[in-house]
Amino acid sequence: MIELKEITKVYGSKQKTTTALSGLNLTVEKGQIFGVIGHSGAGKSTLIRCINLLERPTRGEVWVNGVNLTRLGKRELQQQRRRIGMIFQHFNLLSSATVYDNIAFPLKLAGSDKAKIKAKVEELLVLVGLEAHSAKYPSQLSGGQKQRVGIARALASDPGVLLCDEATSALDPQTTDSILKLLLDINRKLGLTIMLITHEMHVIQSICDRVAVIHQGGIVEEGPVTEVFLKPQHPVTKEFISRDVAGGEPLKQAIELLKPKGIGIYRITFLGTQTYESTLSEVVSETGVHFAILQGTISAIKDVPYGQLTVSFEGKPEAVAQTVAKLQQRELDVEVID
């Protein structure tokens, strides 16, 4: 578990200071994949670097697995850091060392014996799918393969926590997805707690359980990804949600056309198995209301399917009200669109 308590980070000297984080609180439960999303300069890298004290917070406490890292001496901190793996946007591999030696590096540093190192590195090569590449140098690898080396190296000392600083930002969409799949796989196989930072909602949507939105050094919204993604509250969060979900320009035009005619417009959210059920058609056949679909999405958040339909309901006002009530009785989320 990771707990950040009232973390403030001020960079600079007396003349010119930048407050990168101001009194930030955050809790990541064991085994979770927790995403932090924010624009450039929001404080994401500072935040993640504060967790293993690569950056020392100016004020506040960092707790990882029940230990207050901010109060440890140098040697104890070094020991605790071995329990926290980290991967980077630009991989940070040793260019003059092979894949094998890159992965073995933290184990050599820790003084493990050769046989132990060999067994561990071979196990990790299989885990990240690089068995055939162990003798290659980083320059002979694709971006995705380099990040796989980064992940294997980060896992070498059996950490309980993995920190990912924009780990897929330098990769193309397909490679990004394969790396995200690997992270999810590792999370499930090893029960590893993963904290990742990104500026892409797609990354959050694919693998995270919870998300926090960081803006100007503070968390402005936090919750389960399903909740934050389908019902964003803060303007910054809304910006990050794709046009698909929000509706965009075509929906705006439909609203401008239909609203003056007094036709009601509603957004219905289906979550989980609701997505595949015929609730809407059953309800309108009961109430006699006609509907038109103005915009629709079916997708998934991690492994939870969801659908979001924006519809107009035409009919007698009491029949429309009854339609909305019946949908809500069947536990669909119905929101009036103005």
Could you list the residues that contact ligand ATP (CB under 6 A)?
Answer: 11-12, 18, 20, 38, 40-46, 199
- Pick between residue 240 and residue 266 the one whose CB is nearest to ligand ATP: 240
Binding mask 250-289 for Mg ion (x = CB under 5 A): ----------------------------------------
Q: Are 210 and 34 in contact (CB under 8 A)?
A: yes
Q: Answer with the entry of Mg ion, ligand ATP, none that 12 interacts with (C-beta below 5 to 8 A by kind).
A: ligand ATP
Closest distance to Mg ion from the beta carbon of 208 (Å)? 18
Q: Is residue 45 at the binding interface for Mg ion, with CB under 5 A as the rule?
A: yes
- Pick between residue 90 and residue 181 the one whose CB is nearest to Mg ion: 90
- Pick between residue 171 and residue 337 the one whose CB is nearest to Mg ion: 171
Q: Is residue 46 at the binding interface for Mg ion, with CB under 5 A as the rule?
A: no
Q: Answer with the entry of Mg ion, ligand ATP, none that 11 interacts with (C-beta below 5 to 8 A by kind).
A: ligand ATP
Nearest to 171 by CA among 192, 200, 194: 200
Binding mask 47-86 for Mg ion (x = CB under 5 A): ----------------------------------------
- Pick between residue 40 and residue 139 the one whose CB is nearest to ligand ATP: 40
Rounded (5°) CA angle 252-205-230: 45
Question: What distance in Å separates the CA atoms of residue 84 and residue 7, rounded to the nearest whole number?
Answer: 19
Closest distance to ligand ATP from the beta carbon of 229 (Å)? 20
Closest distance to ligand ATP from the beta carbon of 48 (Å)? 8
Of 38-46, 202-210, 253-261, 309-317, the window that binds Mg ion (rule: CB under 5 A) is: 38-46
- Pick between residue 44 and residue 81 the one whose CB is nearest to Mg ion: 44
Q: Is residue 312 at the binding interface for Mg ion, with CB under 5 A as the rule?
A: no
Q: Answer with the entry of Mg ion, ligand ATP, none that 317 interacts with (C-beta below 5 to 8 A by kind).
A: none
Question: What distance in Å separates the CA atoms of residue 34 and residue 209, rounded to the nearest whole number?
Answer: 6
Residue number of the CB closest to Mg ion reads 45
Residue with tokens 């960079």: 11
Q: Answer with the entry of ligand ATP, Mg ion, none that 20 interacts with (C-beta below 5 to 8 A by kind).
A: ligand ATP
- Pick between residue 45 and residue 323 the one whose CB is nearest to ligand ATP: 45
Q: Measured on CA atoms in the order 172, 36, 194, 201, is the torsion positive or negative? A: negative
Closest distance to ligand ATP from the beta carbon of 7 (Å)? 12
Q: Answer with the entry of ligand ATP, Mg ion, none that 15 interacts with (C-beta below 5 to 8 A by kind).
A: none
As a three-state string, the secondary structure of the chain is CEEEEEEEEEEECCCCEEEEEEEEEEEECCCCEEEEECCCCCCHHHHHHHHCCCCCCCEEEEEECCEEHHHCCHHHHHHHHCCEEEEECCCCCCCCCCHHHHHHHHHHHCCCCHHHHHHHHHHHHHHCCCHHHCCCCHHHCCHHHHHHHHHHHHHCCCCCEEEEECCCCCCCHHHHHHHHHHHHHHHHHHCCEEEEEECCHHHHHHHCCEEEEEECCEEEEEEEHHHHHHCCCCHHHHHHCCHHHHCHHHHHHHHHHHHHHCCEEEEEEEEHHHHHCCHHHHHHHHHCCEEEEEEEEEEEECCEEEEEEEEEEECCHHHHHHHHHHHHHCCCEEEECC
Closest distance to ligand ATP from the beta carbon of 235 (Å)? 17
Closest distance to ligand ATP from the beta carbon of 36 (Å)? 9
Q: Which amino acid is at 16?
A: K
Closest distance to ligand ATP from the beta carbon of 166 (Å)? 7
Judged by the rule CB under 5 A, the positions of this chain that interact with Mg ion are 44-45
